[in-house]
């Protein structure tokens, strides 16, 4: 599938991403390399920014990590307002913001300290619950049981946060614990994601 050159965004089937500068987004390519190529492409072609679908990228990240699409969240940092705002999932965009000063938010701590966390007992850890209660389109409203939270970087600057979770009625039914393998995959995505967010995410 190709993307229109007039800057319009095309609807894409699940699991697919468009072609940028001759690089097709297929499941046989390394996802980090694909994102790096897209980031490089939009640096030299501003019109390509309008063709980026973060929802499609989150879908690919979910597939790469073996989780559901609604278990991947991407947040941008607003330096102006000193908060995090949701970019993905779409249903959380209008729910509210997360102050960077929040002591009850894992995402805010990740942004402040610029370090990743693996939390396999998430339900028993103090955390903000207002966003967790929002039902993601097409998915059950089960609680987050396990999570990896990591900073998205542009150079040494935190420009966002990625959180990948496993949801379920209990920790045992949510799936296996996250470990070094999943963390390594997520960290490999943080640099190219940082380049993308610098272009895509407007101050909110």
Task: Write the CATH number for 103.
Answer: 3.30.450.40
- Tell me the pLDDT of the chain averaged across its residues: 81
Position 150 in a domain: yes
Position 191 in a domain: yes
Position 79 in a domain: yes
Dihedral angle, C-alpha 51, 56, 58, 64, nearest 10 °: -120
Position 29 in a domain: no
CB 97 within 8 A of CB 75: no
Range of the domain at 171: 65-200
Position 86 in a domain: yes
Strands 72-78 and 157-168: antiparallel
In the chain, the N- to C-terminal Cα span, in Å, equals 32
d(CA 165, CA 69) in angstroms, rounded, equals 10
Instruction: Name the pTM for this structure.
Output: 0.80
d(CA 72, CA 2) in angstroms, rounded, equals 25
Position 78 in a domain: yes
Q: What is the pLDDT of residues 119-130, one digit of tens each?
A: 999 988 877 665
Position 69 in a domain: yes
1 pLDDT band (50/70/90 cuts)?
very low
Count how many domains the chain has: 1
Across 5-9, 34-38, 62-66, 189-193, least confident range? 5-9
């Amino acid at each position: 599938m190709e993307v229109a050159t007039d800057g319009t965004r095309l609807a894409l089937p699940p699991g697919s991403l468009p072609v940028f500068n001759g690089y097709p987004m297929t499941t046989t390519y390394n996802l980090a390399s694909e994102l790096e190529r897209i980031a490089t492409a939009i640096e030299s072609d501003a019109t390509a920014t309008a063709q980026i679908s973060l929802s499609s990228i989150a879908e690919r990240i979910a597939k790469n990590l073996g989780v559901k699409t609604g278990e991947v969240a991407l947040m941008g940092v607003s330096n102006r307002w000193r908060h995090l705002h949701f970019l993905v999932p779409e249903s959380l965009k209008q729910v509210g913001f997360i102050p960077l000063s929040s002591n009850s938010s894992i995402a805010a701590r990740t942004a402040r300290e610029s370090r990743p966390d693996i939390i396999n007992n998430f339900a028993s850890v103090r955390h903000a619950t207002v966003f967790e209660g929002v039902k993601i389109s097409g998915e059950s409203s089960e609680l987050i049981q396990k999570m990896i939270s990591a900073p998205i970087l542009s150079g040494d600057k935190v420009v966002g946060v990625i959180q990948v979770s496993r949801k379920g009625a209990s920790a045992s039914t949510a799936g296996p614990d996250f470990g070094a393998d999943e963390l390594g995959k997520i960290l490999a995505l943080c640099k190219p994601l940082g380049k993308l967010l610098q272009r895509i995410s407007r101050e909110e």
